[in-house]
Amino acid sequence: MASLAGTTLVWQGSALDRIWSLNPHAHKEPAPFGRVAGIAFLLLAATLTVACVCWLKRRPWGWRLAVAIIATQVLGNLVNIFMGDLLRGGIGFLIAGALLFYLLRPRLRSAFASGESSIGN
């Protein structure tokens, strides 16, 4: 989604712009920043891709990057809660918090240190 948003903001006026009709409110916030916001979204998409690849290869820094990304999401959801968006912030906080709790489990963390193959057990 970040790459799609970035693409539509960098190259405005394409057929992909119609995708924003699904969530026009989400388009109103980054649209004034145009290319700058689009490039930021594309950088975010690249970072998420690197995190995914390194996670699948069980690289220790891939685990650290995933923890940093999810922790940032937890903090962002807390900001939403304090700004008055209780429902969206609360649900996001619960989901991201559960993911962060999972990531910080010792067994999962040790899988990235040793290359162990049974992460889900």
Q: Are 9 and 31 in contact (CB under 8 A)?
A: yes
pLDDT tens digits in sequence order for the chain, 121 residues long: 899 889 988 988 888 888 888 888 888 888 888 899 999 999 999 999 999 999 899 899 889 999 999 999 999 999 999 999 999 999 999 999 999 999 999 999 888 886 554 455 4
Would you kindly state where each structural domain of the chain is located, as residue ranges?
A: 1-56, 57-121
Residues 6+ apart with CB under 8 A from 106: none
- Amino acid at position 31, single letter: A
Quote the radius of gyration of the chain (alpha carbons, Å).
Answer: 17
pTM of the model: 0.75
